[in-house]
Structure 1
Amino acid sequence: MATGDILDRKPPTKSNVMAQTQYFFSDPVVAAFCGGGMAGAVSRTVVSPLERLKILFQVQSVGRTEYQMSVSQALKKMWVEEGWRGFMRGNGTNCIRIVPYSAIQFGSYNVYKKFFEATPGAELNSISRLACGGIAGVTSVVLTYPLDIVRTRLSIQTASFADLGNRVGKMPGMWETMVLMYKNEGGALALYRGLVPTVAGVAPYVGLNFMTYEAVRKYFTKDGEKNPSALRKLAAGAISGAVAQTCTYPFDVLRRRFQINTMSGMGYQYKSLADAIRVIIAQEGIKGLYKGIAPNLLKVAPSMASSWLSFEMTRDFLVGLRAEADDNAPAS
């Protein structure tokens, strides 16, 4: 390289750096990744008390009566015994998990869409959306699963299950719980206990969620409009979440049971996925596979509605940065 070339090269200006940054974040996949992270954090925080209550209902075995009550009574019990912290118990870990989980899910969905498009930019049919969403769901689960199992442990360790032992003193936090599981429950495999039923449930759930949302969103878009209103987006998100959750809920129950399968005092010792289904139906009936569905359905509407709206607002804002960068770019 000639010395003159180096001397003639101009350092990047502040406006050029800003434009490059705007172009990076306005990339559709990057915008979807960031929008997904924001959607996850907002949606889970909004429904944190119901999310924790769902887990407590799910993991309560036959013969226990600690949480054998209505949703409103259980929420009152949680408030009386643990206060506001009880409502938010495990939410910090959940947000640490859900931000990358949701970001990977939305981001990878936009990557996988390219492989399903008949031509670049073509709209996907419902089956392609279902498959694309399912693959994105599996990707996000595998990459973030240890945080999910730790969140489950944190959600129940302060609840009033009598056989969990002495809870006097400070409860272990996220990283301490993860280390204890690794040391005492079988190493790295302990952090992936319950992965199979999780993947089995998440793939159809995420696929149904994406497929239903895009179909309902399109139905709610009036003729001549590019996008539906925020209220109709909220409704589309609520409907998609309810459909997906109802169809795949038994897998969520199985996931929680396997996550605490070795936790002393909880009474579960399932040998396999088939064994778990057999034992649950034998001891608890079909309704055992739907334990906790009431608080789950109560939370799914605001959760998915806020998730999709947050995602679209964040994504649209970031994609709009490219036009702003073009407007501010110096003339060549």
Structure 2
Amino acid sequence: MAGQSKPTLSPWGTAVAGATGAVLANAMVYPLDLVKTKLQVQVKSSSETKSEGSKETVHYKSTLDAINKIVEKEGVEGLYSGITGALLGVASTNFAYFYWYSVVRTLYMASEKVPKPPGTAIELSLGAVAGAVAQIFTIPVSVITTRQQTQPKSEKKGLIDTGREVVDSEDGWSGLWRGLKASLILVINPAITYGAYQRLKDILFPGKNSLKPWEAFLLGALSKALATIATQPLIVAKVGLQSRPPPGREGKPFKTFGEVMRYIIKNEGALSLFKGIGPQIVKGLLVQGLLMMTKERIEISFVLLFAYLRKLRQQKLGKVVDSAASSAKASLPATLK
């Protein structure tokens, strides 16, 4: 009905809905995630080219070229290498993000001293705070997943063994938080995404509380495309930090995302900071669109489920009360009945 607002979920319910939607969306387009990581982590220089054969290095020219070479060398299952860790990371990151975003936005809206609805700057700030908290707790899974996605076929390891490899490196346990600074800076990506989502929603569908699936998909896709273009160099640098160092580094890992960016520019040119942007955007468009579309549906399903459970609980409580009343009445002396 017009003017009827959509029932709200608790931060926990919003987080579960967001994480579920993210896992479903990412599972559907996982091969694109694997390919964009492989494209972003490769750094090719003349010295590396000469030794590619000995180091079993495969260089990819494009998204399609990467898919063909992976399938040729590892089979179709190669396109799903590291998917367990990836989906675990997606679930934990999105759960944490949606939970904290819901919490900070609820606190903001509850305050009587701030303007409502929040402007673009405030939406970005709320998203950044939520994203920063989420990254601190979930980045180890991201590091392990990136390592798994970039392992040669002859060195494939499971989630636990890859984690041990990271811990056993020169960084020790701190290696699980490699790229944290870049990740904290990259909180502007979801901040831009969800800030843009809210603003585009107000512009394209003003006053509408419940979106149709195609409307949520459109808003999610547009907002993610804007965020990806703005942050691609940092995304490439973060992947470089979390993966194994390229052959030209002779096993020496990068220390900062600035060092990664300088190395890429020196060997491949400034435009290479945007390598992998094709599958990154396509993956982002599909994932964000599917995520927001499924999240909207899941939230509605959760609202209906919780309402049904409350009704059952009330009915059960009513039966218990009636039963207690009947028992009490039966125990009374006949003269008091």
Q: TM-score range by the shorter chain?
A: 0.7 to 0.9
* 1:237 equivalent in alignment to 2:229: no
Counterpart selection for 2:74 from 82, 101, 110: 82
Identity of aligned residues (%): 21
Contact 1:79–1:87 (Cα < 8 Å) also in 2: yes
Whether 2:174 is the aligned partner of 1:182: answer no
Distance 1:184 1:322, change over 3 A: closer
In structure 2, C-alpha distance between the alignment counterparts of 1:217 and 1:100, rounded to whole Å: 26
**Distance in 2 (alpha carbons) for counterparts of 1:310 and 1:68:** 33
Partner residue, 2:293: 309
1:271 Cα offset (Å): 4.0
2:119 is aligned to 125
Please give the alpha-carbon distance, in whole angstroms, between the structure 2 residues aligned to 1:132 and 1:34. 19
Q: 1:265 to 1:281 in 2, by over 3 A?
A: closer
- Partner Cα separation in structure 1 for residue 297 and residue 68 of structure 2: 34
Partner of 1:8 in structure 2?
none
Q: Is the 8 A contact 2:144 2:162 kept in 1?
A: yes
Aligned to 1:10: none
Which residue does 1:155 correspond to in 2?
149
Partner-residue secondary structure (3-state), 2:198: helix
1:284 to 268, 276, 279: 268
Q: Report the AA paired with residue 89 of structure 2.
A: R
The structural deviation recorded for 1:278 is 2.6
Mean Cα deviation higher: 275-284 or 119-128? 119-128
The alignment partner of 1:69 has SS state of coil
For 1:144, the equivalent position in structure 2 comes to 138
- CA deviation profile, 1:47-102 (whole Å, cap 9, x unmatched): 11111111111111123673332222221121222222111111111011111111
- State the partner residue of 1:195: 180
Aligned partner of 2:92: which letter?
Answer: P
- Structure-2 residue corresponding to 1:113: 105
- Aligned amino acid, residue 228 of structure 1: L
Question: Any idea what the Cα deviations from partners look like across 1:213-263, whole Å, max 9, x if unmatched?
Answer: 12222333366x532211111111111111111111111111111112557
Shift of 1:175: 0.3
In structure 2, the partner of 1:275 is: 259
1:261 and 1:123 mapped to 2: Cα distance?
45
CA distance in 2, matches of 1:285, 1:155: 25
Residues 110-164 of structure 1: per-residue CA shift (max 9 Å, x gap): 00113322449953222111111111111111101111111011101136xxxxx
Match of 1:91 among 83, 88, 98: 83
SS of aligned partner of 2:75? helix
In the alignment of these two chains, the number of paired residues is: 296
Q: What's 1:4 paired with? A: none
Q: In structure 2, the residue corresponding to 1:184 is in which secondary structure?
A: coil
- 266 and 43 in structure 1: CA distance in 2 versus 1, 3 angstrom threshold: farther
Contact 2:11 2:99 in 1 (8 A): yes
- SS state of the match for residue 129, structure 1? helix
* 1:259 equivalenced with 2:251 (yes/no): no
| Structure with larger Rg | 2
d(CA) in 2 for partners of 1:156, 1:128: 37
After superposition, the Cα gap between the structure-2 partners of 1:281 and 1:27, relative to the gap in structure 1 and judged at 3 Å, is same
> Partner of 1:45 in structure 2?
27
Partner Cα separation in structure 1 for residue 65 and residue 261 of structure 2: 29
Say if 2:191 is the partner of 1:207.
Answer: yes
SS of 1:210 mapped into structure 2: helix
Post-superposition offset of 1:207: 0.5
TM-score (norm 2): 0.80
Deviation at 1:324, TM superposition (A): 2.9
Q: Which amino acid aligns with 2:149?
A: S
Distance 1:146 1:265, change over 3 A: farther
Cα RMSD of the aligned pairs, angstroms, is 2.4
Equivalent position amino acid for 1:246 in 2:
I
Matched, 1:70 2:70: no
Conservation of the 8 A alpha-carbon contact between 1:185 and 1:262: no
Aligned equivalents of 2:190, 2:135: Cα separation in 1: 11
CA deviation after TM superposition for structure 1 residue 315, in Å: 1.7
SS of residue in 1 equivalent to 2:152? coil
Counterpart among 146, 158, 162 of residue 173 in structure 1: 158
C-alpha separation between the residues in 2 aligned to 1:59 and 1:295? Answer: 14
Amino acid paired to 1:102 = N
